[in-house]
Chain A
Amino acid sequence: MTPQEAVGKLKAQFAAAIGEPSEFRGEVTVSVTREQIAPVCQFLKKECGFDMLTDLAGVDNYGEDPRYEVDYLLYSFTHRCWLRLKITVPEDDLVVDSVTAVWRGADWQEREAFDMYGIRFRQHPNLKRILMWDGYPHHPLRKDFPLAGVPTELPETAVNAGIVETAPMLGGPFVAGSGTRSSLRKEPRQYDTIAEQQDKLKTPTKKESV
């Protein structure tokens, strides 16, 4: 069975919930309505042989409506092909049905999407943060989360507690693009003294307080 045939079978079963399939570089993507994702996955596993969930990715299309998107990549060991499902999630109702009942492997992948984007998966057995620590207040992969990070208190632990500082952005190691400074200064290790670097770190926070 090719992915196209699987989409055909899906359409026969869930007519209204399935969008037009698109193809790019030989990969078939089909959009599914958010409400139907769990039954569609169940159907694809039972009837079409898609027995593995290879990948699950949250996406933030900031500025669009609906804002979020979850992409599922399924693989079939019997037919040796991939199929991608796509659902959109609006910002004011960030809830998706979990597919952990279909593939147990979805467990950590859904936790990661929750951790990074704040998308909640209904009926997930253990929806906790996975890469960030418990109690972290933000969702870092959202487009409106700054690349430098946000100063955040670390949880109280026996060893140390403190504040996570933001990364040095101007001339920092992350951002490419032409800055106002010379290229020699772009690399933070090029600062003459540590004091100068610390001054640089402090200036933005002063501005914020004003």
Chain B
Amino acid sequence: MATTQEMELIDSAARAQQMMEEELHGEKMIINMGPQHPSTHGVLRVVLELDGEEILNAWPDVGYLHRGDEKIAENMTYTQFIPYTDRLDYIAPLANNVAYAYAVEKLLGIDVPPRCKYIRVICSELARISSHLLGIGCFGMDVGAMTVFLYTFREREKIYDLAECISGARFTTSYTRIGGLANDMPATFLPMVRQFLKEFPATIDEVDKLLSRNKIFIERTQEIGVLSKEDAIDLGVTGPCLRGSGVDWDLRKTHPYGGYENFDFDVPVGAVGDCYDRYLVRMEEMRQSVRILQQALDKLPDGPVNAPEAKIVLPEKKAVLTKMEELIHHFIAVTQGINAPPGEVYFSAENPKGELGFYIISKGGGTPHRLKIRAPSFVNLQMLPVVSRGHMVSDMVAILSSIDFVMGECDR
């Protein structure tokens, strides 16, 4: 059987052109970046397709820190899951505790007293400063400015001291409870925060002097990793990355929760959407957090920190030991958990990395039927291939730092 074969005939000039291009571009190379790489801030692996130094494509590979938090949540009571929220975004555990507590409280339909809300605001903003300090410190170090890292970590140490003062732990705070807090703040806490607020703005100014107009830093970050407004929304990016791309959207302003409507603060928004804008947004957010903290300290109301609902909040130990009803409430809350109504709620809080959401499906009883964690780092990392295409390998380091993700939260 005779077959005809189509052949592509290229004229010699075009062939020469093609050969030239092949010679110029050479072979494409696939390399691994991570999972053990200092600039991936944890165990992120990025597979890079390179043409020389230029990135043609990047495929992030996540899951190295997957611990099955969502599965674990389905098998324990709502209160027991609080320590697991510390280990999501472990740079800002206090903020995760707060977001989770509000999510369960929304499901239960209860409100916490004003003093509790103010303390939670203080916790969230301290966590935000702590997270941004690490983000900016590592950002500076990754692009060659070592000094900033030392300055920011000196301040983070003070925030760890504050966390220890209020919750008893520096790192794994587990400070909130469903319907309140583990304990009211100790008397020494307020003076410590005031002292911190007195010293901290000087450090922001120092970092500002070291980085914001630093020629090398600007060369490494401006026009690098530009994320357009449309791309950011389409990809579901939230937090400083979204605001860096020029979208004026902050859950604390657009959907105020936990008393944020009582505070006067501004939401910084970028213009270009490059690494430098994301850096500037974080710098300004720290200044705004200081403003919020000052207002919270000045207006801190008195009163109880726990909601009055006896079947949700554990009663006082003294009452448990002396009164029958409190003993029963305590026993049921500890052994069976808080009895939640059937239904599904989604609550999201503006965390340092973006929108941290908890989607809880309850079928009644003390354990969730499904608890989905909408982790900002997980969703934000999707922008990596979009923004890194066409840049150099060394720019990848700057882009990764500017996204500011935490793998504990990404992989859950």
Contacts and interface: CB of A to CB of B under 8 A. Distances in A.
Interface of A: 24-25, 27, 29, 51-55, 57, 59-61, 71, 73, 77, 80, 82, 84, 103-105, 107-109, 112, 116, 129-133, 140-141, 145, 147, 174-178
B52 interface: no
Interface string B235-268: 1110000000001010000110000000000000
B77 interface: yes
A29 B343 CA distance: 11
B63 A59 contact: no
B155 interface: no
B254 A55 contact: no
Interface string B367-409: 0011010100011011000000000000000000000000000
A147 B75 contact: yes
Contacts of B337: 176
List the 7 closest pairs (A to B, CB-CB), nearest first: A105-B236, A57-B372, A131-B63, A131-B66, A24-B343, A55-B374, A105-B235
Given A80-B254, A80-B255, A107 B382 contact: yes
18 contacts: A27-B345, A52-B234, A54-B374, A60-B370, A73-B374, A77-B247, A84-B346, A103-B236, A104-B231, A104-B382, A105-B235, A105-B382, A107-B382, A108-B378, A109-B379, A131-B411, A141-B70, A176-B337
A57 B236 contact: no
A112 B359 CA distance: 15
Contacts of B30: none
Nearest to A107: B382
Contacts of B378: 108, 112
B72 A73 contact: no
A107 B379 CA distance: 9
A68 to B, nearest CB: 11
Given A59-B361, A77-B247, A104 B63 contact: no
B234 A82 contact: no
B359 A55 contact: yes
B233 A77 contact: yes
Contact of A176 (B77, B357, B370): B77
Contacts of B109: 25
Contact of A174 (B76, B234, B237, B346): B76
B63 A130 contact: yes
Given A27-B346, A108-B378, A131-B66, A52 B359 contact: no
A140 B247 CA distance: 37
B62 interface: yes
B106 interface: yes
